[in-house]
Chain A
Amino acid sequence: MLPEAYTIPFQLIMPAAFALGLLLPFKALGTRKGAWIYSATTSTLSFCFTLYVASQFNWSDPGRLQFVGEIPWVDNWNLGFSYGLDGMSLWLVMLTTFLMPIVVLGSLVEVKGDMRTFHFWLHILEAALIGTFIARDIVFFYVCFEFTLIPLFFLIGIFGHGEKLKAAKVFFYYTFTASLLTMAGILYVAWFNTTLTPDTPGISEVYSSIEFDPIDKPEGMSDQEWAEQEYIGQWTFNIKALWAAGRMMPFEAQILVMLAFLAGFGVKTPLFPFHTWLPLAHTEAPTAGSVDLAGLVLKLGPYGLLRLAIPMLPVAALTLAPYLAALAVIGVIYAALVCWVQKDAKKLVAYSSVSHMGFCILGLFAFDGTKDAGSIGATGAFIYMLSHGLATGGMFLCIGMLYDRFHTREIERMSGLAKIMPAWAVFFCVFAFASVGLPGLNGFIGEFLTMLGTFNSRTVNGTPILGPWFAIPAALGVILAAIYLLYLVGKIVFGPLNLPHWEDTGETGIAGGHDLSYREAMTLTPIAVVCVVIGLFPYPILRSLEPAIQEHTRFVHEEIDRIEAEAAAGAAAALDDSGLNAKSPSRQDAKEGSPEDKQTTMKPALYQTAEIASEEDLALLGIAIPKPNNTEPEKEAN
């Protein structure tokens, strides 16, 4: 079959090539049906290829990047299209290629204009998304991340509804501005890497804790040696090399770069209060655009945080975790309340995305478990991303079908649709329940795991990072979600039959009120089936996700271990000295300080402590390390 190194480029180039194929001067492609059939076929082919990739994937080692390869780009900056696939990427690529044929199927009626242009941009979007998920080079990642804006700009601007132009522009400006800041952050880390030398204190420890993916490694050289020789002091954009560089940065720089990353990824996620672009863009986009936005593009935010920000800036992630979680919880509740009062069904679903993505952030920054196992919160956040993509995508498709029939999305104007559209009603209920988090459907898995992770969040010197104070209000958000979604279902699906009049002709929409066509049923069935399957058998996905996610949260756990060890060593040293010798201020803090002061002991980055620690301290460190671990087990057992 295909050589391993070509697998991923093929997966990436496929949709792009299919998009260019649409521009070929064939008459058949110019017709609506022709373009649609072409697009449905090609996007299905892409999905089949993803299945092939999955079959070649080594499932016993999903934490490692596989199919690794590199195509040179700007060679003398060590900038390349380098790619690889681990459990995380694979599931997201699969979600992307799985949703694409579905949105193509669902877009036959709604898209009014030039079908060819529509499908062209849809395929380009697919390529950009795949590129983001497979990138192993941070600039390649950024290029694809940024490039998703262009197809979406056109999809919303040309094919949207209502205030489509405004929606397209707001979406573009908002996310573009934010992600430019991310670029500044990325380049800062890359520059910082050039200032390192092999003699920088602490660097070999950092390099030894990362598993690199060497290419063209000479015989008899260990991965670490290869990486040190390849990356230290060089301009490089390899994500793992920059993890190392980021961890070497001083505390203030880490925080600033983290804020830069949060600008880009937080807006994309969207994290309250930077969500204001989303309702407009989701509502005015065509159904296909909404599904792609909610199902796929929003995933870029948490994915970027997990892939780049958390491993690169563990100290900053740890420090900012409570604040981010607070924003996430506020977002969960606020957006849920906003949903409750929405009149437009699509807007309601759009706001529900804000609420749901709050859970993702909460889970990502829960940091439960230990260095080698656990990370239930982050795993839950990740599976939540996948389920949210499916369930919300399904809801958008269902509402798009209503709009095709009745030309309105106002909740007040319709009710009792189950009477004339029973099949549609079943699907709609399934997706709504999946969104609510009904056990047995996919939404429950993610919701439960993120909450669990938040509850069991690790403690740093006795203070939990998140803990119940974050989990309890978030649980309130779950209840609110049940309220507004069931309210929506109750209003639209049940009750007395009431069909809206078409605004343009004034006649009742009963003529249009037929049940699902075969095409529509084919659109919705796969999503619904997958929702149920994931809900009942989540274990295979969880098992393949967890090692990959553990790989990315490990550094934060190492950081926590180090801080606790340091605090314990400080306390031990203070006891030893028993007040005879002058104590260093940091030790005093560790021993006597209030919990807030203890936060400050988290601050020094790894290399600083390496400088500070004397031999005596190190010896104490060696003794003291087991201590915090021994005090933890009852909590970790959960």
Chain B
Amino acid sequence: MTGRALSGGRAASAPLLGHETEPTIFEMSVSGRSAYQLRTTGVPATALADLIPATHLNGDVVNIAEVSERDLVAHFTRLSHRQFSVDLGMYPLGSCTMKYNPKFCDAVANDPGLNSVHPGAPAELTQGWLELLATLEEKLCAVTGMAAATLQPAAGAAGELTGLLLMRAYHSANGDPRRRILIPDSAHGTNPASVTLGGYEVTTVPSNDRGLVDLEKLKASLGPDVAGIMLTNPNTLGLFEEEITEIAAAVHEVGGLLYYDGANLNAILGAVRPGDMGFDIVHMNLHKTFATPHGGGGPGAGPVAVSKRLVEFLPGPKATRLDDGTFAWVKPSRSIGRVHGWHGNAMVLARALAYIDVHGGDGLTRVAKYAVLNANWLRQRLSDTLPAAYDRVCMHECVLTATPLKNKYGVRGLDVAKALLEEGFHSPTVYFPLIVEEALMFEPTETESLQTLEALAEAVERIAQRAIDDPDALHRAPQTTPVSRVDEARAARHLIPTEDAASR
């Protein structure tokens, strides 16, 4: 297949004009220079001292950089050239679902009819937004098989904590909040962190030799003090929990609830719904499954959908469709209260609805199918170089291991990940899940083509050959990137979080 790996996803042709670092905006600052322009208002320019008592005035202590508009543009444009992105090339970062973000969805959300609306304006004047939110809630429930949802949580972790507070409210209403939450050893770190903030204790459930929850050990951990279990399905190994109905039955048997971590929802769209698997609470990462851009680490959105028995506890107020066809803010009867300052990351929610509408039920089903096809093709294609940790059909991502390269040539997973950057690809997720040695977790997503997958595979093979020829060079990779490996220990030992700390 060599020769057809001229792909859209390989970014090795990205131009660079040098190897100097970019000065900070503060270093570029020249006192007295400015870029801002404001409206001519005609408002009386009363001296501030005549409006506000002197005890409140700060004596002009706050300084910002002073640059021209031209320098501002040059600075941030150059910074952007020092940044990898989905638009530039393939981002096979496992668990993060870095698929292509349709420009249309951004454009729709950026319409002034949506983005110039004040969140505190009366519902009568924002009916379009309320309808949009109510419609999105209905569609997310259709995708997940749940009864109702809150759109307030601003990201996946916020959704997790919201879900745990819902569990607490539900159990408390039944007389006992309970004490423990079960979490598989392969779970994302946000799960246990959220459990603690939800006022619960973590009980870790081990995986079996097939990379799945060990059902017998799970049953042994269950008891009347278990509030619920948090599961990702497919799990973080990219494997579907085949005993999910047995797990659900066992947890429900002791009165516990099942929480679905939607980090990997992309794999099962249209194939199976969390509600049908027995889950009571589901969070969705709209910035993964529904392709809203990640923004370099947010904004995300983490709506939480629930089964019927939890609906009355949902955060609120919620945009609600009334019988007369209008919309109003309604707080569920036993609501846990707000989990966001306003109505959630509304612009992200609007993008997700546009994405759902473009795809429809048929398109979303294809999304999952091709995501799973791509991951399995890559797993199989790389099997001689980076074997799969669990060698069988995976879902939307595959966890491979660099253990053979490490044992034979001393080349670690991190070295492979860094060398891929020189090849024009973003690295896969490294050393996660924690239960796999030298883990490299690849999630190609459905929007990458066969040609891009082939180009990635060939890049991995070249790196494997370099491991034989010159392993030391791999320890030093990458060298063609804006900076080479950074001294993380030094950053932590001597914290410099600001320009002012740097100059002290």
- Chain A partners chain B: no
